[in-house]
Each structure stands twice: as structure tokens, then as C-alpha cells.
Chain A
Amino acid sequence: MTAIRLPARAGLEERVGRRWLVLLAVAAAAILWVVFRGQMTLPHNDDAPIFRSLLGVREWAEDNRQTLAPLREGIGGLIDVFDEIIASLGWPGVIGLFTAIGVGFGGLRVGLLAFLGMTALGLMGLWDASMQTLSMILAAVVLSLLIGLPLGILAGRSNRLSAFLSPILDVMQILPTLGYLPLVTAFFFIGGPPGVVATLIYAIPPAVRITSLGMRGVPRTTVEAAAAYGATSRQILTKVQLPLAWRAIALGINQTIMLSLSMVIIAGLIGAPGLGRLVLNALSKTQIGTSFQVGLAIVILAIVLDRVTFAIGERLDPRSRADAASRQDRRALRWGVAAAILVAGLAAPFLIDAVTFPDAIRLSLAEPVDTVATWVTDTISPATHDFEAWVATYILNPLDTILLDAPWWLVAAATVGLAWFLSGRRPAVIAAVCLGGIIVLSLWDHSMRTLANVLVGTSITLAIGGALGVATARNARLRAVVRPILDAAQTLPPFVYLLPALLLFGPNRFTGIVAAVIFSIPPVIRLVEVGIRAVPATVVEAATASGATARQLLWKVQLPMSLQALLLAANQGLVMVLSMVVVAALVGAGALGYDVITGFARGEQFGKGLAAGVAIVLLGIMLDRITQGAGGRRRAATVRAG
């Protein structure tokens, strides 16, 4: 009999009692708010002593930079190696190589995609910049994997190492790069190497985590069986665990590449050459069309690398060795074609100029995009500005007032209480510790402002993402249309839609929220869709057979049964919005994000910038633990039917 998960329902008396308690708590909080309004609000002090002491960290880094000089030389050398290889291949060679790999490992479709993608980069006039970015990405990925894969394998076998690494990896991924970027430049100066280092810090965690997960996914019985047959530890690793974990490892490699690409623009801020730099240039000239075109180039590069590495991963997967006989012929054909393409690409430089991509044809999306953008903004910008003013006045400002006019202890107590109610004791303790940390960092005022923005942003993301997720779950055609848009939206650098957002809404908190929402919606849509579609078809049929309408089906059956997925969607939406806090400050969101970019821009403010980055991490951990644990109270009790 199938076991069906239903949310556990507490007893009737318990539920009623809890409701009264909640009402009482809310009433008490409201009264205290009115009574103590405006007192003990911990207003922002730009000269807080802790900022000055954190500044010392950077000075220490600058004094000690010589120790890391060899590392810098090494990374610079690695980038140069890739530069040289790409330069000697020339554009026909690079296109030929990618196409050949695509055809060889993935067949005609992947090869065609690779060919079209790489050629498009050249046709848009972005070949040189794309190759500079490619060198940097390759260097970063190689180093990430060199460090991350072994660590992941070790973490997969050792619980202690895994527990030790987990918070470190968390921080590496959540701490805003701009917060610690001055430290990176203090040690590694400017140019390609610090760009690679900043990318490493962001891209190693998925390599470690996913590899570790893959290792742990190998069934214990299989490992024991191998041991029983007399396999040594090394043999178990190389012949059993790695092959079986290959899928996960391939995914880890793929994620490392994707995350490295998302760091391209930040690397541009510290002088790394390539596409990131071009986006920043276009932004400073407020050229929407150019920034969109370069952003598109980054997306194309991401898609090509993604599909090609995915194909390699699939083809090398030991588990799919069970090939039908007919595949043998196709394999020979594929590799034959691949070899021919490769030879053509390598031979071409002897016949034509392989250094500069020919400019006979040029694809320019910049002008049409500019025209459309100008027309749209001219038409609707008065209306969008009014809308922004309305949201800011009736939603953002009241929320700010509630959080900021209240004494700090009231807000802290309410948050801890809410955490306890929603998720249990441990998240409540973590919430208390994080809030305490924020107070110690002298960033209470700005953190509350950022919290307000994040809450509004997350709510909007979940509302729209949830609705769209439900829609795509139920409509296959919509799904097919939306999927490529979501793919592109997830890889398009957020910097690209900053300009349109600014033109429509002006520089303020709302615009920052809009940028964060656009960035965070795709994963929410995906998770909600997956969750709803995972509800067993039998249950859906039973419900419709019993006469449920479409609405009842959704609200009474599908949503409750996909609760875990919905909570995960909420959690991910929150984390993604939080990760946009710094970028949002570039369009007027202020608060912690602005502190971080100030710390990066002005040396004497580095302490405040780093402190703000840590405060963002603390908020992130607190909100993450609360939303992750929110399902705990109502965790499904498995009910066996029949």
C-alpha cells in the first residue's frame, strides 16, 4: 500500500489553546510598541568603534601581502597559460574545439549548439572579451576543482570534516563578495588573479558540497560488499565510490562553472579583463542595449559550457555503460565527425587570419533593444513611478516604522518568539545569537531597514513565483514556453536589468527590490512546479473522481501535499533575495548594501563595509534557519493507507 504523507494535525484543544496564545502575544507586542515607541532604537553611528578596529584587518593584510606573492604569480601564470592556448588556437580553432567536443560527447545537437553559440559571440563583436573571460573562468574552475573535489571526497567519508566545513562553506557563499573584496585586493592586487581568487571563494563550496553528497549517496551495502571481497580502501574509492558518485560530481563541476560565470562582473570591478568590464562600462554610460548584448554573451557562454560539460559528464558516466549494440556505429560516426571538425578548425589558421574575428557581419542587438527600451520608458514611466511611490508609501514605509521606531529589545523578542513558534527552539536560539551579533556590530538600524526590504522582496517573489509555479505545473504548454526564459533569467547577470529598473522606477528601495525579485523568481517557480507535479497522480485522480473542482484540488490536495517543496521554495527565494542586497544598493536600496559598497569604494570605510557584510550573513543565517525549520512543527507523519 502506498504511504501518503499528510500534515500532522494537532489535537483540537491544543490548536485552540495555541491560537489564544498567539493573539495574546501579538496584542502584548502591539501595546509595548505604542508605549515605548521611539526609545532605545539604536540609531546608526558611522563612527562606531568596531568599524575602526575592523579597518585594522585590512591594514594587516596590506602589510603581509608579500607572503602570498607566489600564489598570485601562480594564478597569473595559469591564466596566461589559458590565454596562450586560446590565442594559438585562434578563433577557428576555439570554435572547432568546442564544436568537436560537443559532437563527440553529445551528438549533433550539442555540437550545433556549441558552434552557434561560440560563433554568435564573435558575430556580436565580443570575441576578444569573451576569450579573456573564458581564460579566467577556466583558471578559476580548474583551481576550484583541484581544491574542491578532494575536499568533497574527504568530507563525504568523514562526518567530522563535513560538520567542520559546513559553516565555513556557508560563509563563503553568503558573505557578500564586495564586503571582503578589498581584502582580496590587499593580498592579490588588481587584475586577473584577484578576480580568480574572488571567484574561487564563491565557486568552491558547491564543488565540495555536491561531491560530498554524491559520495554519501553511494549505498553502504555496495561499499561493504566490495570490502567483503577484499578491496583495499583505495580500490573502494576509485572503483566503487567515485564511479557511483560520478553523476553528483559531474553536477558539482557544472555548478562550479555556472557560479564562476556569475562572478564575471564583480571580477571586472577589480580590473579583470573581459565581458564583466564591458557590462560595467555600458552601465556607466547608461546604455541599455550594449549592457543587454554583453549580458547575452555571458548567457551564451554559460549555456555552451553548461551543455558541453553536461554532455561530457553523461558520456563518461560509468553507469550508462550499458550501450545497445547500435550505439557503437553512431559512436564511431560522432567521433569521426568531431575529428574532422577539429582538424578543420586547427587547419584554418594556415589559410585565413585566425587572430581577429572577421567583422564582415556584425549582429547588433544594442540598437533595437535601446529603441524598445526608450519607447517603453517614455510610455509608461510616469505610471511606473507613481506605482513605486504608492508601494513605498503604503508598504515599505509602514514596515520601516514598525521595525525602526520600536525599541530594539521588543523587535528582538518578537523575532525570537516568532522563530520559536514557527520552527522550534534551535532556530530561536540562532535568531537570538544573530540579532545579538548585529547589535555588537553597531548595525541595528541599517539591518532592520535591510530586513524590511528583504521581507517585502521575498513576499513578492513568493507570491508571483508561487502563482507562476502553480500555473506551469498544471499546464504543459506554458511550461515549454517558460522553461527557456527561466534558464536565461537565471544566468543573465543581474547588473543587466538594473538599468531598465532604474528607468522605470528611479533610484530607491523599491527598485532594489524589483531587481532582487527578478533574480529570485526563477528558482521559486521551478521548485513550486516540481513540488506540485510530485504529488502522486493517483491522489489527484482520486480527488477529481470524488468531485473536487480545480480550485479545491489545488488548495486542499496539491498544496498541502507539496508542503515541503513549498517551504524549500520559500527558503530559496529568501536566500536569493538576500544575496541581491548589495546589488540592490547600486540602485538606491541603501542600508547594509550601501555600507558594503562604500567599504569597497573608500579605503577608510573598509571596516564598516566588512561589518555590513557580516551583518548580511547573520541576517541570512537567521532567516534561513527559521524558514528551513518552519515545516518542523507540522512535519508530515507518514500515514499508511490501508
Chain B
Amino acid sequence: MRENRLARWAGGIAMVAVLVAGCARSAGSTPTPSAGGGGASQSAAAASASAGASQVAEVTCKGAGDKGTVKMMVNQWVGAEANVAVAQCLLQQMGWKVETSTLAEEPAWQGFDTGEVDVILENWGHPELEKHYIQDTKLATDAGPMGVTGIIGWYVPAWMLDQYPDLADWHNLNNHVDLFKTPESGDKGQFLGSDPTFVQYDEALITNLGLNFKVVFSGSEAASITAFQNADKNKTPLIGYFYDPQWLHNEIKLTQIKLPPYTPGCDADLKKVACDYPPYTLNKIVRTEWLNSSGDAATFIKNFKWRNEDQNEVADLLTNKKLSGEDAAKQWITEHPEIWQPWMP
């Protein structure tokens, strides 16, 4: 029984020591664990010097002052990470603290209700969410376009058009059903659908355009990407749902197939749709309360606007060059002052 007591005392003392040390430490300094996106931990140090990086040779993502916190949502794709990396760096220079959280689009909008999300920098459509949060409850506000035009469509690897030039027009797809057949699609040609998070109505399009194809869902963006990579490398036929901006376009060449052109209203009834996807003016959504109370950060976000190629450039740094968000932002900011300076309030 002596060993019992000894062990118990040792354990008890250890616990007390931990707690005392813990209290002493937290009274002394305030370390800040932050919810980092993308892998590198970002901490806005309170004390460092440089503000306004354009004159300084070494760009840094730290700034003076503590104006408050901006909670930015990062969508689950690299383009969104690129947006946030650059915006975060500049906001931190301005003296704001930035917290990021990566979420699917639906749960993210719920954050406008609870105050967990202040800014979504890249929104693709979602009229039902816009109606509920912007028009009906006014919890969110449209902060204008972010400058990137989102294009969704039917893509094939570029080599297919070299070999079968008539594929460029959708009318000829039925002549090549055998080419696209797989065991998943039976007698019909396979059309590769994508992640269910994305707006897709290819099944309706195929039916309404009279095409002899069957949609097989890849299930995730990674699955679609690897499929296109394989089709490009091993020269296997593939047609599927894809989009721009996307970092894959920097790596392999994909070409879009022309469907009947989009006209406003042709996608009103998604069961009868027979036209191409509309180009999306990607916009920024912000929490209304935050917009009205966050001074220069709100102005910055309203001014934030860049092009497809800018976003693709940073996205490439993040994926193919494997830079961290902060490093990629620093590099781009150093090279393109003409683009970001107009954003500063």
C-alpha cells in the first residue's frame, strides 16, 4: 500500500505543478494560437515596425496596431486560398488581425448569422442563399464583384481536339460515343460529373440536347482533377465538368466544348435547360454588421478586385511551387504593386 500512496502523491504534485506553471505562464505572456489556413501558422505580432510595405524592400505581412479581427472564410479550393492569402497579408499590414476558417459554402453562409464569418471573398452564384441571407434577413451584403469571372463548362484534354477536331462542336458528340464509353457508363458515353458541392446540371443538359451520354459522378474535385491528369498523360478520352479559374490549367491544357450559348433566362428551369453555363461574376459577400463597423478593413474589402490570371498566378505558387500562403502573398505583392495599391483605403 505504500507504493500506492507514493505514486498518488507523485501524480498529485505533478498535476499541481502543471497547473501552477500554466497559470504563471498565461499571466506572463499571451501566445496566440491562430486557426491557420493552408499549413503555415500565421501570427500577427503586435509590436513590429513596418506599415505600408510598398516602400520597403522586404515585404512583410505584419503591421502595427490592433484594429480588431477580420474573420475570413476560405473556400475549399486553391483559388480561394489565393484570394485570402493576399488579402490577409495586406490587412495584417494595415494592423488588422485575420482569422481564417475553411468551410464548405453552405455552412459558411450560416456563419453570417452567428458572427463566425465576416467575409467570403469568392462566391459562385447560390441564388437561394443570396435570397435568404441578403434579401430576406439582410444578415449579409453583396460587396461587389471580386474581378474574376468564373467559367463552368464541358472540357476535354486539348490533345483530343487535335485528333478529333469536330469535337469542338457539341452536335458531333453523338458520333464519338464509343470513344467515351467506360464500364461505368454501359452503352453510352461517359460524362464525368464532379463534386456535389458544385452547381451541376449536366444530366438535364444531356437529356435535353439528345446526347447519348451518361453522367458518372467523380465525387470530389480531387477525383476529377486526377482523371483529367490521367487523360492528358496517358492519352485516354475524357469529357467532363470543369471550370476556370483552377490551378490545373497551369499544368495541363484543357479545352472547352461549345454548347448552345447562354442567354439570360435559359437556365430558369433546371429541368429544361439546354444552354451552356452562364459566366459567373464572382462576388464578395460580407456580414452586414461587420461592414458597417469595420472602417478601413471594410473599404479594403470593397476595393479588392483582381483578374483570373492574377488569381491563377498565386494559385500556381500555392500548388505547383508549394509555397505557403504567406510566402506566396509576399512574392506576388512584391511583384505587382500596381494591382493592389488601388485597394488600400
Contacts and interface: CB of A to CB of B under 8 A. Distances in A.
B128 A331 contact: no
Interface string A326-348: 01100110010011001100100
A88 interface: yes
A190 B77 CA distance: 18
Interface string A170-208: 000000000000100100011100000000000000000
B102 A281 contact: yes
B146 to A, nearest CB: 20
Interface in A35-68: none
A91 to B, nearest CB: 10
Given A128-B41, A508-B183, A585 B107 contact: no
B216 interface: yes
B195 interface: yes
Given A104-B11, A385-B236, A588 B223 contact: yes
B319 A132 contact: no
The size bracket of the interface on A is: 35 or more
Interface string B1-31: 0111011001101100110011101100101
B216 A88 contact: no
Interface stretch (B57-65, B225-233, B304-312): B225-233
A277 B102 contact: yes
A104 B218 contact: no
Interface centre among B35, B183, B197, B221 (most CB of A within 10 A): B183
B111 A132 contact: no
B33 A132 contact: yes
B16 to A, nearest CB: 11
A616 interface: no
B197 A393 contact: no
Given A502-B222, A507-B219, A585-B219, A87 B234 contact: no
Contacts of B195: 601
B319 A285 contact: yes
Contacts of B36: 128-129, 273
B219 A597 contact: yes
Contacts of B224: 507
A382 B101 contact: no
B33 A87 contact: yes
B250 to A, nearest CB: 12
B219 A89 contact: no
Contacts of A332: 6
Contacts of A286: 222, 225-226, 229
B104 A601 contact: yes
Contact of B31 (A87, A281, A335): A87
B274 interface: no
Contacts of B217: 585, 588, 590, 594
B318 interface: yes
A385 B234 contact: yes
Interface string B106-141: 111011011010000000000010000000000000
B38 interface: yes
Given A587-B223, A589-B219, A271 B107 contact: yes
Contact of B184 (A131, A277, A285, A508): A508
Contacts of A335: 6-7, 10
Contacts of A587: 218-220, 223
A346 B21 contact: yes
Interface string B237-275: 000000000010000000000000000000000000000
A270 B25 contact: no
Contacts, number: 214
A295 B213 CA distance: 38
Nearest to A382: B234
A375 to B, nearest CB: 13
Contacts of B104: 269-270, 600-601
A166 B21 CA distance: 44
A623 interface: no
A602 B127 CA distance: 13
B186 interface: yes
A418 interface: no
A503 B114 contact: no
Contacts of A508: 182-184, 216
Nearest to B320: A285
Contacts of A100: 14
Contacts of A600: 104
A604 interface: yes
B78 interface: yes
A14 interface: no
A131 B222 CA distance: 27
A393 B78 contact: no
B33 A285 contact: no
B314 interface: no
B76 interface: yes
A84 interface: yes
Interface of B: 2-4, 6-7, 10-11, 13-14, 17-18, 21-23, 25-26, 29, 31, 33-39, 41, 43, 76-78, 81, 101-104, 106-108, 110-111, 113-114, 116, 128, 182-184, 186, 192, 195-197, 216-227, 229-230, 233-234, 236, 247, 318-319, 322
6 contacts: A89-B25, A285-B78, A285-B247, A355-B29, A356-B43, A588-B216
Which 7 residue pairs of A and B lie closest in terms of their CB atoms, listed nearest first? A392-B183, A598-B196, A507-B218, A507-B223, A88-B25, A601-B197, A355-B31
Given A331-B6, A342-B17, A602-B197, 12 more contacts: A89-B22, A185-B107, A190-B110, A284-B221, A287-B322, A332-B6, A392-B184, A499-B222, A507-B223, A587-B223, A594-B219, A601-B104
